[in-house]
Structure 1
Amino acid sequence: MTKSPLITKLNDQLNREVSTFLRYMRQAAAIKGASNENVRSMYLAEVTDEVGHAQYLANQIAHLGGTPELAPDLSPIPATVDAMLTADIAAEGADVANYIELAHMAESAGHFALKQTMEDQAADEDHHRQEMARLRG
């Protein structure tokens, strides 16, 4: 049985979200020093948010007849807080674009609630990106 392009794209984004919350958890654990506590706190708070995104995506994949498939990226984390923020700003921007594409795909397939949630998640990722840019300075 061939998977629909929508399920494939949802699985791709699921893996991005799982990779993100694992990276944020690892980065928060690695960040040291009082001067970086605000960045560490931001990453810890975002872990829960990204887990919620991942769970929603997994639920939708199953709802649409697919199977959530996990293959997270466990690449080494950046060595400095600035490098972490720089990489994550770019990653959040890519997530915004992916969620917008998913919203269009969902609308084309007649899944209007999914479309709305994908737009909401795009906005949430954009907020993350803006907060990271503010913290980076």
Structure 2
Amino acid sequence: MSDDLHLSDVQSLRERARQHVENGAVTESYSANREEVLRLLNESLATELVCTLRYKRHYFMATGLNAKAAADEFLEHAVQEAEHADRLAERIVQLGGEPEFNPDVLSRLSHAQYVAGNTLKEMVYEDLVAERIAIDSYREIIQYLGDKDPTTRRIFEDILAQEEEHADDMADILKDL
């Protein structure tokens, strides 16, 4: 541990808390580039919303022999992707930003593409590709954030774990098709 690291005394903590109180959760000790973090959060929000919509489409469009099992997974994943979007939007607001929900902008910001797929196999394949994009993207964001914004990093770590589960689910279904 570095010798220059020290804990603030209570009086200093109290005084700092009263400075720039309009910044809410963003205190003087926040060391990340807030504008860059907000950009990454909004891109990730767009990714989650695009994935939610694609999973919803696949849920309604799934047909064929293995359609029921796949459709159940599509719906479960759609709900979870929407929950991810909510967490990201909430964090954007905590950091003093505005979550981007404009449909005209979402597909441009999203890391994953909206590829509908025509057959069940194509749908599962496209969902797996999108999950793999999210996994790599979120892993890079986690590394970028490091210790500069542990709250945002933990949100991405939680989401990453679920995206990895989604990828496993899609890979398992793809094997059966």
TM above 0.5: yes
Question: Equivalent residue for 1:133?
Answer: 171
Q: What is the CA deviation profile of residues 43-87 of structure 1, one whole-angstrom value per residue up to 9, with x for unaligned ones?
A: 011111001100000011111111111233395611011111111
| TM-score, with length taken from structure 1 | 0.89
Q: What percentage of residue pairs aligned between the two structures are identical?
A: 26
Considering only CA atoms, is the larger Rg found in Structure 1 or Structure 2? 2
Query: Which 10-residue stretch deviates more, 111-120 or 52-61?
Result: 111-120
- Which SS does the other structure have where 2:146 is aligned? helix
Task: Indicate conservation of the 8 Å contact 1:6/1:105, yes or no.
Answer: no
Shift in alpha-carbon separation, 1:75–1:50, aligned structure 2, 3 A: closer
Task: Indicate conservation of the 8 Å contact 2:58/2:116, yes or no.
Answer: yes
Instruction: Name stretches of at least 5 consecutive residues in structure 1 with no aligned partner.
Output: none
| AA of the residue aligned to 1:124 | Q
Q: Distance in 1 between matches of 2:124 and 2:115?
A: 14
Instruction: Tell me how many residue pairs correspond in the alignment.
Output: 134
| AA of the residue aligned to 1:16 | T
Question: Equivalent residue for 1:65?
Answer: 96
Task: Indicate conservation of the 8 Å contact 1:10/1:102, yes or no.
Answer: no
Instruction: Name stretches of at least 5 consecutive residues in structure 2 with no aligned partner.
Output: 1-33, 108-112
Structure having the higher helix fraction is 1
| AA of the residue aligned to 1:51 | A
Q: Distance in 2 between matches of 1:65 and 1:106?
A: 17
Q: Are 1:50 and 2:81 counterparts?
A: yes
Q: Distance in 2 between matches of 1:19 and 1:126?
A: 17
Question: Equivalent residue for 1:13?
Answer: 44
Question: Equivalent residue for 2:5?
Answer: none
